[in-house]
Amino acid sequence: DAEITQSPRHKITETGRQVTLACHQTWNHNNMFWYRQDLGHGLRLIHYSYGVQDTNKGEVSDGYSVSRSNTEDLPLTLESAASSQTSVYFCASKRGLGTEAFFGQGTRLTVV
């Protein structure tokens, strides 16, 4: 069955370190998204991509970057981790307009 997987599921890192969260989907979806979820804020869009070599900034993109070198993967990089980036991160993919978004299980990141 097609799926979307995130790794790692949990990570603790130190302030200032570079961290990369992986997202891999096997649906061959063009659209992929990264969100962070915090209490009181819901899901906030960090970056998104509509296809290979395409990346776009979301509402909370500062301190984060993504790259899309193939259809299946959209890794999220925290250039220099900060305590404010402690959160649960969700990756999602969808085929196109009006279609269902499928979410990964989430990555709980703690920056100490």
Partner 1 sequence: TQLLEQSPQFLSIQEGENLTVYCNSSSVFSSLQWYRQEPGEGPVLLVTVVTGGEVKKLKRLTFQFGDARKDSSLHITAAQPGDTGLYLCAGEGSQGNLIFGKGTKLSVKP
Please state the closest distance from residue 69 (CB atom) to partner 1, in A.
20
Say whether residue 85 binds partner 1 (CB under 8 A).
no
User: For residues 29 and 111, which CB has a smaller minimum distance to partner 1 in the complex?
Assistant: 29
Nearest Cα neighbor of 35 from 25, 44, 24, 27 is 44
Q: Which residues of 59-72 are buried (b: 16+ CB within 10 A; e: fewer)?
A: ebbeebebebeebb
| Contact set for partner 1, span 43-72 (CB under 8 A) | 43-45, 48, 50, 56, 58-59
DSSP per residue, 64-92: EEE--SSSSB--EEESS--GGG-EEEEEE
Assess 34 for contact with partner 1 (CB under 8 A): no
Q: Facing residues of 94 across strands? A: 31
Kindly indicate which of the ranges 17-25, 63-71, 78-86, 90-98 contains the residues binding partner 1, using the contact rule CB under 8 A: 90-98
Contacting residues toward partner 1, per CB under 8 A? 31, 33, 35, 40-45, 48, 50, 56, 58-59, 90, 92, 94, 96-106
